Amino acid sequence: MGDSTYSRRYVTLIASCLTGDDVDWDIDIKEQLELMSQALCQWRKHMDNFSYEYPYGTNWDFFSFGHCLEAPILSSNRSNFIQGDFYRNEESYYIYPDSTVLPPDQQTETNRKVLSAFGVPPGNRVLSRGKQPICIMGYGVTLEGAQRLLYHFSLDRLGGPLDVEIMVACDNRSLRCLEVNPALIGVYRAPGPWGKVSDIMASTDPHAIHDGDNPMGPRSVQRQIRDKWSRLPGPI
């Protein structure tokens, strides 16, 4: 089921959270979500339409808690990636503790860059405006946000992959985007043939091997399952 179909189903709700079907997360995702939820309430209640009915406010459309990375922006012809930056003195943000955050040496380069831009100490995450999140894998939408998504990104309007269109909309602020970094939901790509990794990033070498990708760390669900599976006894 595509993201536009999800949005059509949820346009009657105040807010909703959605995830992709090919994602990975930490085994303590429940505790991570609770910490993020509490921090989001604290951050938005001083600057938004906050109430018992709207605990996260309503002055936003799209909240990404699952993305590959932040800060790539597409050039005007949408063919090349260039880097963008956060400037702490120009942004509203909220830093909160989370003991499950991976140590800096296990984080992706883009995560380290965002955390450094906001001066986030180890063992913490940061909530901020979503500048240019890419590879959307877990997100929340408000009622108005779902309506905006349908208006801007119905099938007859898409000029490219939906996650790229959302990234551009966050950057030009036609969508009011928020995000958390490091993200709570990411990818897991097992080592193997490149053809199993992606149908849009296939290698020209039919025998090329992908080394694997595990940005969610050693406590990710996929990693834990694979480690336990590998220790099972073989056939007798």
Note the pLDDT tens digit of each residue in 57-96.
888 999 999 998 886 544 444 444 444 577 788 788 999 9
pLDDT band at 199 (very low <50, low <70, confident <90, very high): low
Q: Are residues 161 and 97 in the same domain?
A: yes
Q: Residue 182: is the preceding peptide bond cis (ω within 30°)? A: yes
Is residue 236 assigned to a domain?
Answer: no
Higher-pLDDT residue of 60 and 154 is 60
Strands 24-25 and 185-186: antiparallel
pLDDT over threshold 50, residue 4: no
Q: Which of 99, 156, 93 is nearest to 119 (CA)?
A: 93
Look at residue 167 and tell me whether its pLDDT is greater than 60.
yes
Q: Which residues partner with 25 through β-bridges?
A: 185
Is residue 112 located within the same domain as residue 179?
yes
Please provide the DSSP assignment of 162-216 as one string: HHHHHHHHHHHTSS-EEEEES-SEE--B-SEEGGGT-SSS--SSTT-EE--B-TT
Dihedrals φ, ψ of 177, to 5°? Answer: -110, 140
CB-CB contact of 143 with 13 (8 Å): yes
Mean pLDDT over 6-11 rounds to: 42
pLDDT tens for 111-120 read 999 999 999 9
Count helices and strands (H / E) in the chain: 6, 12
Which residue range(s) make up the domain with 210? 192-230
What CA–CA distance (Å, rounded) separates 79 from 77? 6
Instruction: Indicate if 102 and 121 belong to the same structural domain.
Output: yes
Q: Does one domain contain both 132 and 223?
A: no
pTM exceeding the 0.85 threshold for the entire prediction: no
Mean pLDDT of the chain: 79
> Which residue is it, tokens 């009657």?
12
Is 138 or 188 the better-scoring residue by pLDDT? 138
User: Once rounded to an integer, what is the mean pLDDT over residues 20-29?
Assistant: 82
Kindly tell me the sign of the dihedral angle through the C-alpha atoms of 109, 113, 116, 121.
negative
pLDDT value at 3 more than 70: no
Q: What is the total count of domains within the chain?
A: 2
Tell me, yes or no, whether 50 and 71 share the same domain: yes
Q: Is the pLDDT assigned to residue 14 strictly greater than 70? A: no
Q: Same domain for 33 and 130?
A: yes
